[in-house]
Structure formats: structure tokens, C-alpha cells
Structure 1
């Protein structure tokens, strides 16, 4: 039997899924043990127990000066910025994706412009955004929008173009206007793709958020990571990195569930 025809059973699939994670944990534990055996004061690879104790302390203990648990305040601040940036990008991307995909005039007018914008490295614009919008919340949100919006527009407009032409012709035959075609024909086809596009843009969005928080912020997950790096507090950094990864996974899982719940007719990969 060829390898391409071998499908794992459910238990084997779960085992194979967990195996890389277990391998990373074991490799880290071995590396930490070797370094700490050579130098007990080594800070580069703290023991897993040290990382766990630090995580418990960060999650449960309040800051002495402010009286707040900074871990949760950092999380809330970053999630607010992320949600606002992604939400604005999704809305604008949906509107322009529909317009470019459905209207040939808009396609000729904006398609190449958006394509050129998507080539600009968003992080290169960060100093400009700080100058124009200041060092507050607005510049961080704008960076996420600037970094994710061109991709969303291009992806969604292409999906609209791929809507079967027969559906649009039938709608016009029944007397539907361009507005009705956009809302009743193209939009339902576009929503599952919008969720998928948002899922794909979450990785870059986290990158832009952490970069902005690291440079100009006094609260947030990225700010805290870059604040403690000067003390080589790898246990704190690893705790925050693991937490960011878990948050990203949970958001992605929620979006995937949303797609399956409300758009079960969409293709299986969404």
C-alpha cells in the first residue's frame, strides 16, 4: 500500500498530533538539565519547574506598587488592541473585497493599488505611524490594520471573483440590483472565506502588536516581554510566550468553530 493511501486511526492521529509537542518539551527539559548541571545559576534555560512556579506567581500575585495582577492587565490590553485592529481590518476588507470583486470599475481602479500596498513592509511604517498618530493606542491599532488589511482585501476580492457567474446572471435575470447581488449572492459566499482570512492574518497581527508594544507602551504582553529581557528573566519571557501561543490557538479554534457552526456548507478546510 502506498503511503498516500494510509490514513491513521483516531487514537493514532491524536498520538501523532501530540508527539511533536512532547518532543519539544522533552528536548527543552534535557537541555535545561544539562545547562543547569554545568552552571546552577544559568538563566538561559530555566528548569520547567521554575517556569511553572513563575507562571503561577504571575497569574495569582498582585504587583506591590499598583496592587494589580499585571499578567491579566497585560492580557486585556493586548487583546483589546488585537480585536480592534482585526475587527477594523475585517470590516474594511469585506467592503472593499466585495466592491473590487463585483465591480469591474473598482477592480481597475483599486486592484493594482492594493497589490502595491501589500508589498510595503508594515514594520517599516512603524516610525511614521508613531509620528503621525502618537505613541498611544491609535498607532498600535493602525499598525495592525495596515499590516493585515491589504491581504484581506486581495483575498476576499479574489473569492468574490470566483463566485460562479451563473449565480450572478440568474440574479440579474430575476431583476436583482448590484446592491442586492452583493448582499444576497456574494456576501453569503464570502463570509466563510472572511473567517478563514482572519484566521490566517492572526499570526502577522500578533507580530505587529508585540512589535508596537515593545517600542512604545506601558502595558501589554509585548511590553512585558521586552521589559524583563534586560534582566534575562527567561522564566517570565517563556511564560508570556506560552500564554500568547495559547491565546492565538484559542482564538483560531473559536473562529474555526464559528465557521463550522454557521457555515457548515463551506468547504471542509475552513
Structure 2
């Protein structure tokens, strides 16, 4: 049998998926041992045991100055900002995407503007956001919205424009108004696409969030990473990076589960 026709079984698929992670952990452990053999005080690659101990302390031991458990304090702050930015972006993406994709007049007036806005590097206007909105929560949420909302709008508009013309003609023949077509024909077809687009946008959203927190914040996952970098505290940075990755994975898994349960007719989430 050719390799292209060989499909791994369930157990083999799990083993193959875990293999790269195991190899990465082994490579890190070996590199850490080699560096600490030359310099026992090396901070660049702390021992896995040291990283695990620090991670447990971050999650269980209150800070001496504030009395808060830093990991959970930072997680709550970051997730709140991310949720607000993603929710606003999803609403804008769905609303404007439907209008641009369905109404030719709106498309002619708004599509070029959205296309240009989506090409602006969001991090380039971060100083402007801090000047206009201040250093509080609004500027951080605004950066996420500016970063991912235009992309969501373009994606939903494209999906709406791809609705078969025959379907729209049939709805109008049956007496459907523009509002009915918008809510009963177009909306059910683009909602699954919105979840898929939001999954893809979570990566950039995390990037914008961490960048904003690193520059101006007093709590947050990005703030903590950039705070301790000056001390070369890799035993703190690595657990935070792993934690961010795990949170992103769980959010993606949740959206994929929502897609499967809410829209089983639309096919598997990709």
C-alpha cells in the first residue's frame, strides 16, 4: 500500500500527535543540562523541575506586596480584555459583513474603506490609541478591535456575497423583504463562518493584547512577561508562555465545539 493511502488508527494518531511535544521536552531538558553543566547559575534554560516549582508557586502562593495570586490576577485581566475585544469585533464583523455582502449600495460605499483599514498595521497606531484613549482598558480593547474587526468584516462580507443568487431570488419571489432575507436567509449561513473566522483571529488578538499590556498596564499576562524579562526570569516567562498557549488552545477548542453543536449541518470546523 502506498503511504498516501495509509491512515493511522486512533491510538497511532494520538501517539503521533504527542511525539513532537515529547521530543521538544527532551531537547529542552538536554540543552538545559548542558548549559548548567558549564554554568550552574545559568538563567537562560532553567531546569524543568525549577520551572515546574515556579509555576506551582505562581498559581498558589500570594504575592507578598499585594496579597494576590499573580497568575490568576493576570489571567483574569487578560481574558477580560480579550473577551471584550473579541465580542465587539465579532458583532462588528457580523453586522457590517452582512450589510456589505448583501446590499450593493453599502458594498460600494464601505468595502473600499474597510479594505484600506484592514491593511493598517494595528501596532503602528498603538501610540495614537494611548494618546486618544489614555493608558486604561479602553485603548487595549480598541487595539484588539482595530486589529481583527476589519478582517472579520471582510471575511463575512465575502461569505455573504457567495450566497447563491437563486436563493435570494426565490426568497424575493415568495415576498421576503430585505430584512427577512438578511435575517432568515443570509444570517444562518454566515454564522458558522463567523465562528471559523473568529478562531483564526484569536492568534492576532492575543498578539495585540500582549503588546498593549507590555507597554502600559499594571496587570496582565503580557505585562508580567515583560516585567520580569529585565531579571532574565525565564522560570517565570516560560510558564506564562505555556499558560497563554494553553488558554488559546482551550478557546479554540471551545469555539470548535460550539460550531459542531450549534451548526452540525454546516460540516466539520476547520
Residue in 2 aligned with 1:235? 235
State how many pairs are aligned: 270
* SS of match in other structure, 2:264: coil
Q: Which runs of 5+ in 2 are unaligned?
A: none
Determine whether 1:49 maps to 2:70.
Answer: no
* Residue 267 of structure 1, CA deviation: 2.4
Structure 2 CA distance, aligned partners of 1:266 and 1:55?
41
Residue in 1 aligned with 2:145? 145
Structure 2 CA distance, aligned partners of 1:24 and 1:177?
58
Q: Superposition pairs for residues 104-123 of structure 1, below 5 Å? A: 104-123=104-123
Q: Superposition pairs for residues 52-63 of structure 1, below 5 Å? A: 52-63=52-63
Q: Superposition pairs for residues 83-94 of structure 1, below 5 Å? A: 83-94=83-94
Instruction: Give the TM-score taking structure 2 as reference length.
Output: 0.98
Q: Superposition pairs for residues 249-264 of structure 1, below 5 Å? A: 249-264=249-264
Residue in 1 aligned with 2:248? 248
Residue in 1 aligned with 2:16? 16
* Residue 34 of structure 1, CA deviation: 0.6
Q: Which runs of 5+ in 1 are unaligned?
A: none
Q: Superposition pairs for residues 75-90 of structure 1, below 5 Å? A: 75-90=75-90
Residue in 1 aligned with 2:156? 156
Q: Superposition pairs for residues 202-221 of structure 1, below 5 Å? A: 202-221=202-221
* Residue 3 of structure 1, CA deviation: 2.9
* Residue 5 of structure 1, CA deviation: 2.0
Residue in 1 aligned with 2:27? 27
* Residue 68 of structure 1, CA deviation: 1.0
Residue in 2 aligned with 1:2? 2
C-alpha contact 2:256 2:269 (8 A) present in aligned 1: no
**RMSD between superposed Cα atoms in Å:** 0.8
Structure 2 CA distance, aligned partners of 1:167 and 1:2?
43
Residue in 2 aligned with 1:129? 129
* SS of match in other structure, 1:265: helix
* Residue 2 of structure 1, CA deviation: 3.2
Determine whether 1:101 maps to 2:101.
Answer: yes
Structure 2 CA distance, aligned partners of 1:225 and 1:123?
18
* SS of match in other structure, 1:99: helix
* SS of match in other structure, 2:203: helix
Residues 159-182 of structure 1: per-residue CA shift (max 9 Å, x gap): 111112222111111100111101
* Residue 101 of structure 1, CA deviation: 0.5
Structure 2 CA distance, aligned partners of 1:83 and 1:207?
14
* Residue 117 of structure 1, CA deviation: 1.1
Residue in 1 aligned with 2:67? 67
Structure 2 CA distance, aligned partners of 1:5 and 1:172?
47
Structure 1 CA distance, aligned partners of 2:63 and 2:190?
46
Structure 1 CA distance, aligned partners of 2:104 and 2:268?
30
Residues 141-194 of structure 1: per-residue CA shift (max 9 Å, x gap): 000000001110010000111112222111111100111101001100011100
